């Protein structure tokens, strides 16, 4: 991942109001933590199993022995997202840097989006991982690898760029995020009233797993090579072999 910017990169750009807001929170909530110079360096590539929060600086010059974890408001999170080239999740006042994906990850997400786009009924749109999704019941804000919304998008009251009404969410797993994606993150997703299905695309090999809401329960089904899954939420059929048409280079 690229650093947001560093003093080594030459003259520092003028700070926006957003970064000034975030710096003010750091000074008021953690006076024992001092930023080196004026650089804000993002801690990217987070292993979600460890759930290590983003820190305002990767260089902590001094910390008290009773250092506490910072608590950020949602407004401060949005200020960071406006300035950062790295995407972050937000939950319970903590900000988590999202790791960049491998070439296989990007290819699988692109393949799935292409297949979906060719089958979606009128009025439904598929979105890339640039779409921010807000799960209001649990407080998680994140960026799924793909999402489908049917009808007009509905936005979070506190975040006009975050959508709250997807019918389908897609996650391409990775070695560092698979446990989180299939566990805690899935539980967050299930709390969305609009959501009908969650599709997982495995990074390990040709395998798709679909979680579907049926009445008050969620039912999972898996398909491997030669198999197919029917997505009732968008009236589409996904053949496993179509998603994995090209060989994976980063198996593991």
pLDDT in tens, 106-138: 999 999 999 999 999 999 999 999 999 999 999
Is the predicted pLDDT of residue 14 greater than 60, yes or no? no
pTM for the model: 0.77
pLDDT at site 54: 55
Give CATH 3.90.1570.10 domain extents, the chain.
103-243
pLDDT at 166 over 90: yes
Q: Check pLDDT > 80 for residue 180.
A: yes
Residue 61: helix, strand or coil by DSSP? coil
CA 132 to CA 200: how far, in whole Å?
18
Fold entry, domain 103-243: tt1808, chain A (3.90.1570)
How do strand 94-97 and strand 88-91 relate by DSSP bridges?
antiparallel
Residue whose token pair is 């566990």: 183
Percent of the chain as helix, strand, coil, to the nearest 5: 25, 25, 50
Q: What percent of the chain has pLDDT over 70?
A: 72
């Amino acid at each position: 991942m690229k650093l947001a910017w560093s003093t080594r990169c030459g003259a520092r750009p003028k700070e926006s109001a957003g970064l000034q807001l975030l710096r003010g929170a750091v000074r008021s909530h953690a006076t024992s933590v001092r930023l080196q110079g004026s650089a804000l360096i993002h801690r990217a590539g987070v292993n979600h199993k460890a759930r290590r929060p983003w820190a305002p600086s990767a260089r902590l010059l001094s910390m008290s022995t009773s250092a506490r974890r910072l608590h950020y408001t949602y407004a401060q999170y949005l200020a960071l997202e406006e300035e950062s080239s790295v995407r972050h999740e937000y939950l319970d006042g903590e900000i988590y840097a999202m790791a960049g994906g491998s070439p296989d990850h990007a290819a699988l997400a692109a393949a799935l989006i292409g297949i979906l786009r060719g089958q979606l009924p009128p009025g439904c749109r598929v979105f890339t991982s640039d779409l921010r999704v807000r799960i209001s019941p649990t407080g998680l804000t994140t960026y799924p690898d793909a999402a489908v919304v049917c009808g007009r998008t509905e936005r979070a009251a506190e975040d006009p760029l975050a959508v709250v009404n997807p019918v389908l969410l897609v996650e391409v797993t990775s070695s560092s995020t698979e446990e989180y994606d299939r566990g805690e993150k899935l539980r967050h997703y299930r709390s969305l009233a609009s959501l009908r299905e969650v599709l997982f695309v495995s990074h390990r090999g040709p395998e798709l797993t679909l979680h579907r809401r049926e009445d008050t329960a969620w039912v999972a089904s898996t398909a491997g090579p030669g198999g197919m899954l029917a997505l009732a939420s968008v009236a589409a059929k996904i053949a496993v072999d179509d998603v994995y048409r090209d060989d994976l280079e980063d198996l593991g």
